[in-house]
Amino acid sequence: TPFNIIADLQAGGTITTDKQAYGSGEPVIVSVNFTNSAVNYIIPQLKARVRIVDSQNNGLFSDEKTFANLLPSMGGSFTTIWNTGMSPAGACTVFLDIYAGDQLLVPKSAVFSILAQPLLKGTLTVNPATVPAGRSFTATYDISNKGNSAFTGTMNVSLLDPDTQAILSSSE
């Protein structure tokens, strides 16, 4: 009696981030593990798609890797990196979809958050650049917020004596 061997098409996968919460401008390291769980099927083309979305399901990042001829019980891993940049604070979800051809085999996800964080940067310019003893100069400073939330509070800029560390002048 003739019989057919039916392909056992199965795969497994996991997705994780290196932390649960990130600030402005921080890298999110996404780790993916995958395996061909089949006992009798070589997956000719396995695709792993990674997507990051915010709480409104707006796409923030995507990446796709393709692996050829994945033998039964074999697997692999990869990492992909996305920087939070100026993304607003809130919950985010990273999705992993593993496909064999066009057939979705594994949908997985993990949640992380972006924290509200001001990120202050400043520059100071002195004119003239070299100031002889007893002479005056002009100091200009610029402070900007490169973070994803407003800065509240006060900022103090002080001129210190380099020898005594005494405050010579201060501005709020």
Per residue in 155-171, pLDDT (tens digit) is 888 888 888 999 988 88
Distance CA 138, CA 3 (A): 91
Per residue in 44-72, pLDDT (tens digit) is 999 999 999 999 999 999 999 999 999 99
For residue 83, the model assigns a pLDDT of 96
Distance CA 114, CA 54 (A): 9
At residue 21, the 3 state secondary structure works out as: strand
Per residue in 66-107, pLDDT (tens digit) is 999 999 999 999 999 999 988 999 999 999 999 999 999 999
For residue 73, the model assigns a pLDDT of 94
The pair phi, psi for residue 128, each rounded to 5°, is: -75, 160
Per residue in 113-155, pLDDT (tens digit) is 999 988 888 888 889 988 888 888 888 888 888 888 888 888 8
For residue 78, the model assigns a pLDDT of 98
pTM for the whole thing?
0.77
Pairing of strands 21-22, 103-114: parallel
Neighbouring residues of 135: CB distance < 8 A, sequence distance ≥ 6:
none
The pair phi, psi for residue 20, each rounded to 5°, is: -95, -15
For residue 132, the model assigns a pLDDT of 87
Distance CA 56, CA 99 (A): 25
Cβ pair 12, 46 in contact under 8 A: no
Does residue 5 register a pLDDT over 90? Answer: no
Q: Which residue has the higher pLDDT, 137 or 43?
A: 43
Does residue 12 register a pLDDT over 90? Answer: yes
